[in-house]
Amino acid sequence: MTDPAPIPPPATGTPHFVAPAGACDSHTHVFGPADRFRPSQPLVYPLPDATPEAHARMRQANGIDRAVLVQPAPYAADPAAMLAAVAASGGTLKAVAVALSPDAPLGQWAEAGVVGLRFTEARTPDGKRYPGSVGFDALIDLAPAMRSAGLHAQLWAPAAVLDEHLPQLLRLGLPIVIDHIGMPDRGEAGGGAAFRRLLSYVRDADLWVKLTLCRVGRPDLDEDDDLRQLHRRMIEARPERMLWGSDWPYVRMTPAPDAATMLDIFADWAGDPDLARRILVDNPNRLFAFEETT
């Protein structure tokens, strides 16, 4: 049985916000080209035709110079599609991979532009693990090899799960990056008690947070005043550890957001152009070690 044909990536408009030079979209994905890179896992969503060329067009439309690619679960622990995109990017892309064991060639991946590994405890709508994803338990085994390779750990999980695991994971001596603003409980005031404890970790621990909002907000995100307040509180907790990401090309989201709109919402909610510049340029440069451009 052949894989279904890729679907077109979402269209991208033009943001009102003019991104500063060196701005980074810290959470994106590439898929394919389909004739070179086929998924190794059962598909739980249609794959977009989000090739490196389509990714570059999206960044150009948004005025974004740099980006971080995050390994999609359908490719499991094979980063070939991402690494091909990074190699052709002229230093404008970095990658976050997935590894199954410490035997993975983490040092080689780091030399090729991998800056971290992703660990996922978010689940499909029916409660199952995404095929190809790796849970938090693997991080404990991988931590020594990750420290040796200079990689950070990127965590995707609901706030309550992060709250349960962070005390142990922070003792591993790795920088930790939290996906999707920590997945607060939108059914509780202030994001819930676990989100409030996450704010305290952000203030004091070696944590970074991606202000990637599309999976935790309403479809009319710009009118989600409660999420706007959570976003404000997260930035206030430690602005020098905040990162912005679009999550393009928005798999499992119908209709898909517009990356330009996501950038405009971030700039509006940040409120201050200097703060936006720090989050878009200075912070990712420190964490991901992009080369300086002239």
The phi-psi region of residue 209 (left if phi > 0; otherwise alpha if psi is between -120 and 50; otherwise beta) is beta
Which residues are CB-contacts of 15 (< 8 A; sequence separation ≥ 6)?
62, 63, 260, 261, 263, 264, 267
In tens digits, the chain (294 residues) has pLDDT values of: 456 678 899 989 999 999 999 999 999 999 999 899 989 888 878 889 999 999 999 999 999 999 999 999 999 999 999 999 999 999 999 999 999 999 999 999 999 999 999 999 998 778 888 888 999 999 999 999 999 999 999 999 999 999 999 999 999 999 999 999 999 999 898 999 999 999 999 999 999 999 999 999 887 898 999 999 999 999 999 999 999 999 999 998 989 999 999 999 999 999 999 999 999 999 999 999 997 653
Token pair, residue 166, equals 């962070």
Angle between helices 259-270 and 225-237 (to 10 degrees): 60
User: 33: cis peptide before it, omega within 30°?
Assistant: yes
Sign, CA torsion 13/16/21/27: negative
pLDDT of residue 218: 81
Cβ 130 vs Cβ 265: under 8 Å: no
Write down the number of H helices and E strands in the chain. 10, 8
**Which pLDDT does position 1 carry in this prediction?**
45
Residue that has been written with the tokens 């990017």 in this structure: 89
In the numeric block, which tokens belong to residue 34?
A: 């389909």
How many Cβ atoms sit within 10 Å of the Cβ of residue 35? 6
Q: Please report the domains of the chain, with CATH numbers, ordered by start residue.
A: 24-288 (3.20.20.140)
In whole angstroms, what separates CA 35 from the centre of its chain?
Answer: 25
Measured over the CA atoms of residue 131, residue 115, residue 201 and residue 182, the dihedral's sign is: negative
Residue 5: per-residue pLDDT: 76
Segments in 172-224 forming alpha helices (H):
193-204
> Which pLDDT score is estimated for 293?
53
Two tokens at 41? 């896992």
Owner of token pair 């049985």: 1
Q: Tell me the Ramachandran region of residue 208: left when phi exceeds 0, alpha when psi lies from -120 to 50, beta otherwise.
A: beta
